[in-house]
Amino acid sequence: MFLSALELRNIIESSFLPKRCQCTLSPDLSMTVKIFGDHQTDQVDLQVSDIDASRLNGCREINDLIAGLRSELKEQAVQHHYPRARAV
């Protein structure tokens, strides 16, 4: 990892503003990212665990992670508003 844990957390957390984002990094460089619905509640819109932060060695990898998280967040929002029909 070329950035400190604090710098990496700041980049990821600030990339989801105005939503609240919490990024935690364990000693083994396993990362968990939680994105909350708003600033008033603790409703988690997306949580992704076991991200290998040791692979975030440059801007491209960090941008790819953020883009993937945004995509998952958008997919979660669509599924929440338009649940898939179930076969009977």
Each residue of 41-73: pLDDT tens digit?
A: 788 999 999 999 999 988 999 999 999 999 999
Distance from C-alpha of 45 to C-alpha of 8, rounded to nearest angstrom: 21
Torsion over CA: 47, 80, 14, 53 (sign) = positive
d(CA 62, CA 55): 9
CB of 73 within 8 A of CB of 65?
A: no
Prediction pTM value: 0.82
Check pLDDT > 90 for residue 36.
yes
How confident is the model at residue 84, as a pLDDT? 59
**Residue type for position 25:** L
pLDDT at 29 over 70: yes
